[in-house]
């Protein structure tokens, strides 16, 4: 049957083009997601600052937790820290005595404007060499890299003279060198260093530190790389799983439509004694041939797509530029296996009904659409509905974005799967309604929709999927952004906000200033779970910030206490007076007493800590400053902004990643409608022969497309609304998601435009041929 399948493909290229496109897109999507996942698991980060040092000794990059299970086995879990863990400078003396060590170089790293500051002694780690000038000798002297322009540098309210320029400049960071003493003073970590370079080698162990070589040096240098890898693992896994489910749904629908359009041909084969097994082998062989070709080409496209995704993630700051994308044969092979498997299964499922009917009934089955659905499909549809209900209830209980986001996408997808499975029943109900546009075109479209509800269901499925997934992706983000914006707007009492690098003491001395609050953003871990946190100075806090305290008081907030949001308190079982053990961003443990519980966690973070506690445990202690009172003109000279101008979180990564699925759904819509319209060449030709005008045929097709868009809009919007309501309930406590009307209308307009274009273009090609010639070609 394989040779027969090859001949069939040769003579029905147009009929299999749609399946080929769907399979190619599926392979590309799965390959790109697999590349992201593999990069998160195995990607390495090339060192820049530490490239010249064979070994870097630094603090542990992870927060670790050791547990013992019921069998007595010890297990250790680790999660990356958000800040650098500094180590005692005394470790350098211990390393100098180690065998095989010739030189030890200490390093401190701290922010200086948009650059990073270091002591000149650490120039050997790259190594940096002087192109002109000399090394800094006095505390007011600096050496800058080759990109720097100017003769002076301003840092921490003090001017420094540029006395030297290096011959090198690092690709992703600007560098400024101070004297060793000044660098240690500016870093503010007395007796501590960020890293130690060891030459030429070191193979031992150091108490309180780890030795890193190879690409591990890059991970020490770029703390964001570990977070990016973790993000890629979760994103690649969630996106890959969702992509695979969407791909299977689209591929099954496309192949089912292809088989449905060949009912007459398959019925003829059954009538001339082809066995059910031969029919299944024929369709399976065709699916294997089409999917193999699409899988090979799609995997290549997927590699290019993965490279493009990397550039977008680097542009949005989601991953460092020197985190190299892993390109291996595993994602393409996995994509090919998934594509071939999905196509094979889809072909067998689609062929099941045709292959099982008796030869005598075959032609009648092809000529007249069956009235009911197979029991297996009905059962699967009911199970999908039940699954949608269960997932909706689950989403409504999730209050963290990392847990809720993937389940939310899955929930919308499961609702759409239920629509796809029960589509013919839904279509039959809709076509029974007394809805019809005036004129001959409206009469013909209504008759066509009633006569072939399966075709309408095949069109509604990808349109519903497109609308449901697009609305869910867009409006879950707007719901979170709007809730956070509302809480922040309600909670900020300050009249102005100053950026980093401004002296809070100087602002307090300005005339008319009533209160100044320094704010740092960081994250902490509690039992390895990550929580967003802010650190604030408490003096005059009530004049600049209102967190919506529901229990306790922020006046008691100090270095030994913490305020928690109602969401975090509920998850952790905390109340005022409870003791909370947490790990600060640099791995420092802290045991704090809950002083207050507040309600505006989305706008201000899960936890609020004392600024004095956190400032010494973050890489960049410069935050923003909230100012109450003061002269607006004077504050503007300091770079002050209105609170409303403070930007929120950046959802670009979610939009870029999930936008791929939306694009795939859009391609599926065009593909399905084009296949459906192109297969009706003989039908359209017959209408022309019996006197229907070209304009009436086009009106009929437009009316059918608009009917499908209307049904899809209702179904897709309902699936998205149910999902978004549950998401909003869990994440914001409100059952009202934020849905901008213009954005929603734009989504529907885009879906309608796609549907009309995908119908009109192939229809015009079909109508451009003389009716008699078109009928003859189809026969």
Angle of helix 741-767 relative to helix 453-491, nearest 10 degrees? 160
DSSP strand pairing (589-598 vs 561-565): parallel
Q: What is the pLDDT of residue 645?
A: 45
How would DSSP label each residue in 82-125? SS---EETTHHHHHHTSTTEEEEEEE--EEETTEEEEEGGGGGG
> What span, in angstroms and rounded, lies between the C-alpha atoms of 703 and 274?
39
Cβ contact 125:49 at 8 Å: yes
> What span, in angstroms and rounded, lies between the C-alpha atoms of 449 and 464?
17
How would DSSP label each residue in 125-190? GTT--EEEE----STTEEEE-TT--SSEEEETTEEEEEEEEES---SS--EEEE-HHHHHHHHT-T
Residue closest to 56 by CA, chosen among 171, 215, 230, 166: 215
> What span, in angstroms and rounded, lies between the C-alpha atoms of 774 and 128?
75
> What span, in angstroms and rounded, lies between the C-alpha atoms of 431 and 728?
34
Cβ contact 244:338 at 8 Å: yes
Cβ contact 65:600 at 8 Å: no
In 655-731, beta strands by DSSP E: none
Task: Work out the end-to-end distance of the chain between its first and last CA atoms, rounded to an integer number of angstroms.
Answer: 23
Note if the bond before 127 is cis, omega within 30 degrees: yes
Q: Where are the domains of the chain?
A: 1-45+222-368, 55-220, 370-491+648-779, 496-645
DSSP strand pairing (141-144 vs 175-178): antiparallel
Cβ contact 598:547 at 8 Å: yes
Where does residue 467 rank: exposed (0-12), middle (13-18), buried (19+ CB within 10 A)?
Answer: buried
Q: How many CA atoms are closer than 13 Å to the CA of 542, on its beta-carbon side?
A: 6
* Consecutive 10-residue averages of pLDDT for the chain (779 residues): 57 65 84 88 87 92 82 81 92 88 93 91 94 93 90 83 93 92 91 93 78 89 82 79 74 70 69 73 78 89 90 80 86 89 77 62 52 75 93 91 83 88 76 60 62 71 87 90 89 86 82 91 92 93 93 91 94 94 94 95 93 92 88 77 54 70 79 74 74 80 84 92 94 90 92 86 76 56
Residue 403 DSSP symbol: H
Q: Calculate ∠ Cα 207-213-215, nearest 5°.
A: 130
609 membership: H or E segment, kind and range: strand 607-610
Cβ contact 233:41 at 8 Å: yes
Q: What is the pLDDT of residue 425?
A: 78
Where does residue 191 rank: exposed (0-12), middle (13-18), buried (19+ CB within 10 A)?
Answer: exposed
**Which tokens sit at 745?**
């209308």
Q: 88 forms bridges with which residues in the sheet?
A: 192
CB atoms closer than 10 angstroms to residue 143: 24
Where does residue 268 rank: exposed (0-12), middle (13-18), buried (19+ CB within 10 A)?
Answer: middle
CB atoms closer than 10 angstroms to residue 451: 12
Contacts of 682 (CB under 8 A, 6+ apart): 774, 775, 778, 779
For the question of whether the overall pTM of this predicted structure is more than 0.85, the answer is: no
742 membership: H or E segment, kind and range: helix 741-767
Q: φ and ψ at 494, to 5 degrees?
A: -65, 150
> What span, in angstroms and rounded, lies between the C-alpha atoms of 616 and 613?
7
Q: What is the pLDDT of residue 14?
A: 57
Q: What is the pLDDT of residue 444?
A: 64
Residue 555 DSSP symbol: G
**Which tokens sit at 421?**
């499975």
**Which tokens sit at 510?**
């300005």
The stretches of 178-222 forming alpha helices (DSSP H) are 180-187, 215-221
Phi and psi based region of residue 174 (left: phi greater than 0; alpha: psi -120 to 50; beta: remaining): beta
SS (H, E, C) 310-371: HHHHHHCCCCCCCECCCCCCHHHHHHHHHHHHHHHHHHHHHHHHHHHCCHHHHHHHHHCCCC
Query: What is the rounded (10 degree) CA torsion for 488, 490, 496, 499?
Result: -10
Residue closest to 723 by CA, chosen among 426, 460, 484, 419: 419
Q: 198 forms bridges with which residues in the sheet?
A: 55, 104
**Which tokens sit at 194?**
């960020």
Cβ contact 731:398 at 8 Å: yes
Q: What is the helix, strand, coil percentage profile of the chain, to 5?
A: 55, 15, 25
Overall residue count recorded for the chain in this entry? 779
> What span, in angstroms and rounded, lies between the C-alpha atoms of 489 and 546?
10
> What span, in angstroms and rounded, lies between the C-alpha atoms of 282 and 2?
7
């Amino acid at each position: 049957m394989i040779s027969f399948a090859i001949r069939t493909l040769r003579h029905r290229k147009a009929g299999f083009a749609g399946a080929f496109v769907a399979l190619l897109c599926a392979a590309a999507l799965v390959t790109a997601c697999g590349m992201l996942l593999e990069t998160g698991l195995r990607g390495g980060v090339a060192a820049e600052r530490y490239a010249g040092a064979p070994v870097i000794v630094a603090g542990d990059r992870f927060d670790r937790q050791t547990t013992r299970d019921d069998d007595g086995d010890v297990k250790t879990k680790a999660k990356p820290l958000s800040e650098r863990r500094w180590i005692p400078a005394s470790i350098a003396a211990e390393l100098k005595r180690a065998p095989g060590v010739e030189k030890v170089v200490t390093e401190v790293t701290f922010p200086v404007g948009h650059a990073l500051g270091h002591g000149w002694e650490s120039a050997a780690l790259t190594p940096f060499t002087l192109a002109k000038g000399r090394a800094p000798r006095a505390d007011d002297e600096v050496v800058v890299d080759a990109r720097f322009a100017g003769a002076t540098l301003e840092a921490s309210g003090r001017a420094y003279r540029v006395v030297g320029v290096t011959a090198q400049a690092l690709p992703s960071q600007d560098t400024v060198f101070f004297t060793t003493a000044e660098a240690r003073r500016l870093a503010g970590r007395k007796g501590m260093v960020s890293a130690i370079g060891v030459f030429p080698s070191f193979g031992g162990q150091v108490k309180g530190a780890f030795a890193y070589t190879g690409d591990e040096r890059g991970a020490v240098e770029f703390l964001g790389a570990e977070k990016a890898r973790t993000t890629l693992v979760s994103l690649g896994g969630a996106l890959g799983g969702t992509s695979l489910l969407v791909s299977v749904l689209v591929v099954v629908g496309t192949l089912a439509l292809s088989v449905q359009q060949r009912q007459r041909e398959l019925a003829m084969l059954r009538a001339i004694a082809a066995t059910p097994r031969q029919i299944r082998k024929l369709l399976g062989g065709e699916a294997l041939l089409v999917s193999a070709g699409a899988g090979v080409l799609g995997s290549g496209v997927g590699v290019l797509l993965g490279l493009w995704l990397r550039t977008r993630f680097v542009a949005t700051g989601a991953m460092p530029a020197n985190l190299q994308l892993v390109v291996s044969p595993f994602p393409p092979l996995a994509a090919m296996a998934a594509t071939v498997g999905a196509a094979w299964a889809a072909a067998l499922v689609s062929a099941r009904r045709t292959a099982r009917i008796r030869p005598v009934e075959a032609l009648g089955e092809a000529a007249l659409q069956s009235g009911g659905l197979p029991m297996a499909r009905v059962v699967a549809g009911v199970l999908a509905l039940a699954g949608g209900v269960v997932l909706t209830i689950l989403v409504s209980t999730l209050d963290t974005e990392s847990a809720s986001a993937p389940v939310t996408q899955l929930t919308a997808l499961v609702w759409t799967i239920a629509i796809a499975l029960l589509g013919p029943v839904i279509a039959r109900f809709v076509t029974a309604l007394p809805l019809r546009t005036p004129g001959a075109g409206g009469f013909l479209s209504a008759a066509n929709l009633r006569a072939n509800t399966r075709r309408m269901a095949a069109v509604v499925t990808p349109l519903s999927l497109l609308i449901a997934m697009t609305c869910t992706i867009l409006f879950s983000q707007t719901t979170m952004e709007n809730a956070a914006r509302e809480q922040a707007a309600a909670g900020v009492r300050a009249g102005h906000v100053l950026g980093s690098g401004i002296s809070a003491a100087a602002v307090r001395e300005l005339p008319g200033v009533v209160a100044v609050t320094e704010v740092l953003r960081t994250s902490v871990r509690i039992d390895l779970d990550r929580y967003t946190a802010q650190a604030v100075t408490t003096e005059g806090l009530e004049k600049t910030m209102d967190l919506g305290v529901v229990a306790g008081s922020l006046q008691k907030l100090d270095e030994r206490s913490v305020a928690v949001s109602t969401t975090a308190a509920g998850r952790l079982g905390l109340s005022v007076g409870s003791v909370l053990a947490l790990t600060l961003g640099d791995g420092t443990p802290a045991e704090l007493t809950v002083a207050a519980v507040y309600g505006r966690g989305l706008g201000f973070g899960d936890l609020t800590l004392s600024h004095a506690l956190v400032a010494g445990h973050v890489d960049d202690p410069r935050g923003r400053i909230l100012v109450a009172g003061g002269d607006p003109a004077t504050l503007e000279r300091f770079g002050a902004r209105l609170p409303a101008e403070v930007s929120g979180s950046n959802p670009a990564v979610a939009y870029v990643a999930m936008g791929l699925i939306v694009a795939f759904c859009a391609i599926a819509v065009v593909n399905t409608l084009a296949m459906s319209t192109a297969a009706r060449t003989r039908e359209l030709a017959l209408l022309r022969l019996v006197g229907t005008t070209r304009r009436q045929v086009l009106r009929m097709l437009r009316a059918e497309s608009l009917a499908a868009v209307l049904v899809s809009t209702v179904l897709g919007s309902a699936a998205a609304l149910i999902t978004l309501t549950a998401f909003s309930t869990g994440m914001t406590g409100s059952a009202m998601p934020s849905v901008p009307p213009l954005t929603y209308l734009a989504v529907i307009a885009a879906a309608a435009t796609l549907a009309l274009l995908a119908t009109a273009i192939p229809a015009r090609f079909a109508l451009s041929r003389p009716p008699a010639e078109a009928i003859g070609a189809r026969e």
